[in-house]
């Protein structure tokens, strides 16, 4: 039994103050093994995105501990967190977040140019663009691309530094069924390389590709 990619214990997160305070995470635990795809379902406002933000070190819990690929996320300083995110974590969001002034390929390669990036990031990036069937549109700006193409570039960008963990927030939420299916296939294939994938979704098709489906309710994750 190797090391879990995600080890999260007792996560607590509250929003608001006083009587308006709402505890969206209340002792949530999550363990994800390398190569595993975990889908997290839950009603809107149940804290699914919050959970991803905590796992990715974009937000901090009030209590609990998180490790990603054996490195502490909770308790780490901003510099360590930023290095951890660059090297170990890939993010895929519902709204793609591609820089509008850069071509699809430039968006991917930019992620491989940050300090501490994977040494082979540039060649990986070009290979991913070919593998994801994006070569013919690699020089297009995001505004000229379909939603499915934009999301495939976003996945290439997420994988360019060979992360241990991919965090996907409603990755098919803005796509038609066919483009969505392709994105899910790519996330599944990413896990086949030994990556862990944690995906927040409310779509049955997305949950169907997961090894485990967890529901976030009353601040905890349940199978």
- pLDDT tens, 174-184? 777 777 888 88
Residues whose CB falls within 8 Å of the CB of residue 190, separated by 6 or more in sequence, listed in order: 155, 159, 166, 197
Q: How far is CA 210 from CA 20, 84, 93, 99, in A?
A: 35, 25, 18, 30
pLDDT score of 58 more than 70: yes
pLDDT score of 1 more than 50: no
Beta carbons of 104 and 145 less than 8 angstroms apart: yes
- Band of pLDDT at residue 49, cut at 50, 70 and 90: confident
- pLDDT tens, 197-215? 999 987 777 788 899 999 8
Tokens (6 digits) for 187: 């996330």
Residue 55: predicted pLDDT:
93
- pLDDT tens, 104-162? 988 888 876 776 666 777 888 888 888 888 899 999 999 999 888 888 888 888 888 88
DSSP summary character for residue 56: T
Alpha helices in the chain (DSSP H): 48-55, 78-88, 104-111, 121-131, 147-159, 177-192, 204-208
Domains of the chain with bracketed CATH: 34-59+81-222 (3.40.50.300)
Query: How many other CB atoms sit within 10 Å of the CB of residue 188?
Result: 14
Tokens (6 digits) for 180: 């969505």
Q: How far is CA 97 from CA 92, 120, 172, in A?
A: 9, 23, 14
């Amino acid at each position: 039994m190797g090391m879990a990619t995600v080890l999260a214990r007792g996560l607590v997160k509250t929003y608001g103050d006083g009587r308006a305070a709402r505890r969206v995470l209340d002792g949530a635990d999550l363990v994800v093994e390398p190569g595993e795809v975990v889908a997290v379902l839950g009603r809107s406002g149940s804290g699914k995105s919050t959970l991803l933000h905590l796992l990715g070190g974009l937000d901090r819990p009030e209590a609990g501990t998180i490790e990603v690929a054996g490195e502490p996320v909770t308790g780490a300083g901003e510099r360590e967190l930023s290095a951890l995110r660059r090297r170990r974590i890939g993010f895929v969001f519902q709204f793609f977040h591609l820089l509008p002034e850069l071509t699809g390929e430039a968006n991917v390669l930019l992620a491989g140019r940050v300090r501490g990036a994977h040494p082979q990031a540039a060649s990986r990036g070009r290979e991913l663009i070919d593998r994801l069937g994006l070569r013919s549109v690699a020089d297009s700006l995001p505004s000229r691309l379909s939603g499915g193409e934009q999301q495939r570039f976003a996945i290439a960008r997420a994988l360019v530094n060979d992360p241990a963990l991919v965090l996907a927030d409603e990755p098919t939420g803005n796509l038609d069924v066919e483009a969505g299916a392709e994105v899910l296939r790519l996330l599944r294939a990413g896990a086949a390389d030994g990556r862990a994938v944690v995906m927040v979704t409310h779509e049955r098709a997305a949950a169907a590709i997961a090894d485990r489906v967890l529901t976030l309710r009353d601040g905890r994750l349940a199978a």
